[in-house]
Amino acid sequence: MDAALAPLLVSVLCLLPAASAARAFFVFGDSLVDNGNNNYLLTTARADAPPYGIDFPTHRATGRFSNGLNIPDIISEHLGAEPAPPYLSPELRGAKLLVGANFASAGVGILNDTGIQFVNIIRIGDQLQYFREYQRKLRALIGEEQAAQLVSQALVLITLGGNDFVNNYYLVPMSVRSRQYALPDYVRFLVSEYRKILSRLYELGARKVVVTGTGPIGCVPAELAMRSQNGECVAELMRAVNLFNPQLVDMVRGLNRAIGADVFVTANTMRMNFDYINDPQRFGFTNVQVACCGQGPYNGIGLCTPASNVCANRDVFAFWDAFHPTERANRIIVGQFMHGDTDYMHPMNLSTILAMDREGL
């Protein structure tokens, strides 16, 4: 062995017990879970300027579409780990690989043509390819057997679907996809394509995967500003959600049956969000329609920029910008990930998964 490499190898091996205590975490999907990959791309789908990050620990924009922490960050807190770094970050090397990686990219969907207006984003097929690349780096670092164990014991989160509606099917009147498919047929197509993505994740070694449904996209400030007559959630978009989510759950259950194990867990993010939209006072929100940061009706027009209106108290707003929750809303959502009953997490929540793992079940 090269004498110069010996200290590095020793330091990595010393970190392995600590890394196994806090499992690795891998994240795939769109802007709800992107923590900075798009910062490294020439794209308009970015959150790398103030006031994004105003409540982040550094008070700086990081590429997260939030005033502070996003859903993966808060899950990492529960895992007792630091956030999984963006895959494109130059800091993701050496011992940092043991934490996991975030492959998500704002703007992407289940379909490759979703988000084409953003030009340069990491489509889901490329995210999976990066996962393969990551595993090659991991094997070079800790060896094949330990790398396979780290991946199989890791927690995986995947969030897709919303953009396939708001940034594809309903993006413009008479969109290509809406001319090609009636909505029920489009939903069936999306679910069949999503099954291929999840099957590929399983082939790549993922064994504990949380699959989120689509949230109430008809209720986000952007859609209220563009389509709502009286502030009510947009019926056509809610129809899409109500078609998509049950079929997603059925597909995931079928996939688990085919595998013979509960590899995939579904998260009912529609209900998690709708709880506080329907009963804001119960959750301490005073506003569940207007975005904290933006402009125009409901602060739902355009991007959140330094020139936007910004609310003084983010904790009483459910939405940070035209599409994305505040950190406080994200914490409510992750609370259900961790502790929700089977109406929220099926067949089990994350606390149950972690407890079973500790007991070796």
Confidence at residue 147, expressed as pLDDT on a 0 to 100 scale: 97
pLDDT band at 9 (very low <50, low <70, confident <90, very high): very low
Mean pLDDT across 338-359:
92
Q: Return the CATH number at 53.
A: 3.40.50
Confidence at residue 21, expressed as pLDDT on a 0 to 100 scale: 55
CB atoms within 10 A of CB 113: 13
pLDDT band at 361 (very low <50, low <70, confident <90, very high): low
Mean pLDDT across 297-319:
95
pLDDT band at 11 (very low <50, low <70, confident <90, very high): very low
> Per the domain annotation, does 333 fall within a domain?
no
pLDDT band at 358 (very low <50, low <70, confident <90, very high): confident
Span 132-180, pLDDT tens digits = 999 999 999 999 999 999 999 999 999 999 999 999 999 999 999 999 9
> Per the domain annotation, does 40 fall within a domain?
yes
Instruction: Please give the order of strands across the beta sheet that includes 345-346.
Output: 100-102, 25-29, 155-159, 209-212, 264-267, 345-346
> Per the domain annotation, does 254 fall within a domain?
yes
> Per the domain annotation, does 355 fall within a domain?
yes
* Domain boundaries, position 37: 25-217+231-268+338-359
Active-site residue numbers?
31, 321, 324
Question: Which residue do the tokens 């597909």 mark?
Answer: 251
Task: Say how many domains are in the chain.
Answer: 1
Better-scored residue on pLDDT, 302 or 260: 260
For the chain, first and last CA: distance in Å?
39
Question: Which residue do the tokens 């895959």 mark?
Answer: 87
Exposed, middle or buried, 338 (CB in 10 Å: 0-12/13-18/19+)? middle
**pTM value?**
0.93
Share of the chain above pLDDT 90, in %: 90
> Per the domain annotation, does 128 fall within a domain?
yes
> Per the domain annotation, does 154 fall within a domain?
yes
What's phi and psi for 178, nearest 5 deg?
A: -70, -25
